[in-house]
Each structure stands twice: as structure tokens, then as C-alpha cells.
């Protein structure tokens, strides 16, 4: 009788130990960490991408205030030359940065930076402190609805130097951002209000990215891409 009571006590404490072990192993249970992906043995392994995503880089209040500031920036409708035609870029754009850091993309859109506003310069310094990367300009994209977009491309303009690091802040409506190896399958991210996505050095040589159009009702999204530049002066 004594033996069987001791045996039962041993089994109970062993089970409790197993339960505790189960709860502390993040790759078995994701209940501890909602951001942890559940392992499914039948899924393909997630691709290793040259990006880092920080969903809560800004607090909601910081993101709201920055969004209001960004609404007042000097947005412009630029035009791009494509297969012999001049067409409006499907989004509004703006650029702020160091003097002389002019930016030409797609051989047709020329952007001349306005001086940094205080909130943009503060944000630039905060991203540099968090990532170790330096930035000379910020290009803004305003997606007015789901019909505004940016197609597959790499940011490989020579004015940014070799292997630039690019930091992308998202404000307002969440939009799908896709990234893929040049001849590979895309991975989707939902870029949320207040998030930071860093594209590390090398990313622009090996990968393409886009924000596709969507027919879902989507309100305004503002995106700020902080970039290096080889010219100009502070
Ligand atoms: O809006 C975004 O998240 C991406 C912007 C982008 O790809 C670009 O400015 O080159």
C-alpha cells in the first residue's frame, strides 16, 4: 500500500514536471509567445530573408503623431516614363534630407530633398541608434487607397552607394509587402502602423520587393524609407 501511494506520488510529480517542461519550450508551445510560429513538420521551412521586421517600433501614440505630421509633408504627384509613355506614379511621393542628396530613380523621376523636419530627423536618429545604419535622405510614399501601389523592384540606385541598408517605417492602414529572391517565391509581410522593416545590406542585389494593389477597401498608408546617399553635405 505504502509502495503504491509513493508510486502514485512519483507519477503525479513526474507528470507535473513534464507539463512545466512543455510550457517552457517555445518551439513546442507558442502559448507563451504569440509572435512565435507553430512548427508544422509538413510546411516548407521559412526562407531566410535579408530583412528584420519590428512590429512595434513606435508606440501607437508616437505613430499617430507622426502620421499627422506626415500628412502635412509636401507630397507631389510624379510621372514616370514607361515603354515610351509618361504615366503618373501610382502613389504620392516626397523627399527630405541633406542638402544636395538628389535622387533619380527609373531614369525618369528626379527628387530634390527638402530640409529635414524635426520629427523626421528625430526618427532618423532613433532608427540609426537601433540599427547602426546611417541615413541621408527619407523618401515618403503615400498610398491613398488600395489602388495605389509600387511594383516589383530593387532599390539599387548608384547614388545610395554599394549595398545600402534601407529602413522603412509604416503608418496608417496596414498593407501587404512582398519580398522574393530575384527568381524565387514571394514571402508576405503585413506592414503595420508604427512598424519598422529593415532591408539589410545586400538585400537590393539579391531580392525584389513590392506593395501590390488590392481591391479591398484600404485607407491611406504612409511609408517612409530612410536611405544612405554618397553625395551632398550636412
Ligand atoms: O511602401 C513600402 O513599404 C515600400 C516602398 C518601396 O518599396 C520603395 O520606396 O522603394
Contact by Cβ (8 Å): 182, 207:
yes
- pLDDT, the chain, mean: 87
Helix, strand, coil percent content, the chain, rounded in steps of 5: 25, 30, 45
Give the pLDDT of residue 84: 87
pLDDT greater than 70 at residue 29: no
- In the block, cell 532591408 appears at 199
54 by DSSP, 3-state: which? strand
**Angle at 174 (CA atoms; ends 143, 209), nearest 5 degrees:** 70
For ligand 1, is residue 142 a contact (CB within 6 Å)? no
Contact (Cβ atoms closer than 8 angstroms) between residue 199 and residue 165: yes
User: Tell me, what's the pLDDT at 4?
Assistant: 57
Burial label for 221, CB within 10 Å (0-12, 13-18, 19+), is buried
60, three cell numbers: 501607437
Taking the C-alpha atoms of residue 105 and residue 93, their distance in angstroms, rounded to an integer, is 12
Q: Per-domain residue ranges for the chain?
A: 1-41, 44-227
Q: What is the pLDDT of residue 33?
A: 37
Strand partners, 190: 176
pLDDT in tens, 164-194: 999 999 999 999 999 999 999 999 999 999 9
pLDDT at 65 over 80: yes
Query: How many A from CA of 85 to the centre of ligand 1?
Result: 23
Substitution candidate for ligand 1 out of 94, 178, 209, 212 with most atoms within 8 A of CB: 209
Pocket test for ligand 1, best of 211, 220, 228 (most atoms within 8 A of CB): 211
* pLDDT (mean) for 34-44: 57
pLDDT(30) > 80: no
**Going by C-beta distance under 8 Å and a sequence separation of 6 or more, which residues neighbour residue 90?**
147, 148, 149, 150, 213
- Closest residue to atom 7 of ligand 1, CA basis: 210
CA of 150 to the centre of ligand 1 (A): 7
Select from 2.60.120.590, 3.20.20.70, 1.50.10.10, 3.40.50.720 the CATH code of 44-227. Answer: 2.60.120.590
Whether the pLDDT of residue 131 is over 60: the answer is yes
| pLDDT value of residue 1 | 47
Reply yes or no on whether the pLDDT at 6 is more than 80.
Answer: no
Nearest-CA residue for atom 9 of ligand 1: 225
Has residue 22 got a pLDDT over 50? no
Amino acid at each position: 500500500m505504502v509502495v503504491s501511494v509513493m508510486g502514485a506520488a512519483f507519477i503525479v510529480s513526474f507528470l507535473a514536471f513534464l507539463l512545466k517542461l512543455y510550457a517552457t519550450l517555445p518551439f513546442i508551445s507558442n502559448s507563451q509567445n504569440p509572435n512565435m510560429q507553430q512548427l508544422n513538420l509538413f510546411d516548407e521551412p521559412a526562407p531566410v530573408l535579408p530583412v528584420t521586421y519590428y512590429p512595434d517600433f513606435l508606440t501607437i501614440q508616437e505613430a499617430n503623431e507622426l502620421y499627422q505630421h506626415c500628412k502635412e509633408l509636401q507630397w507631389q504627384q510624379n510621372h514616370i516614363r514607361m515603354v515610351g509613355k509618361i504615366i503618373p506614379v501610382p502613389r504620392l511621393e516626397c523627399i527630405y534630407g541633406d542638402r544636395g542628396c538628389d535622387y533619380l530613380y527609373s531614369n525618369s523621376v528626379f527628387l530634390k530633398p527638402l530640409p529635414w523636419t524635426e520629427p523626421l530627423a528625430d526618427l532618423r536618429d532613433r532608427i540609426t541608434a537601433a540599427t547602426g545604419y546611417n541615413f541621408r535622405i527619407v523618401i515618403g510614399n503615400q498610398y491613398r487607397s488600395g489602388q495605389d501601389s509600387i511594383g516589383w523592384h530593387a532599390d539599387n540606385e548608384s547614388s545610395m552607394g554599394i549595398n545600402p541598408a534601407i529602413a522603412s517605417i509604416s503608418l496608417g492602414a496596414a498593407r501587404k509587402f512582398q519580398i522574393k529572391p530575384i527568381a524565387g517565391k514571394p514571402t508576405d509581410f503585413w506592414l503595420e502602423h508604427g512598424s519598422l522593416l529593415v532591408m539589410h545590406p545586400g538585400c537590393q542585389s539579391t531580392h525584389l520587393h513590392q506593395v501590390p494593389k488590392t481591391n479591398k477597401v484600404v485607407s491611406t498608408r504612409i511609408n517612409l524609407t530612410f536611405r544612405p546617399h554618397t553625395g551632398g553635405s550636412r
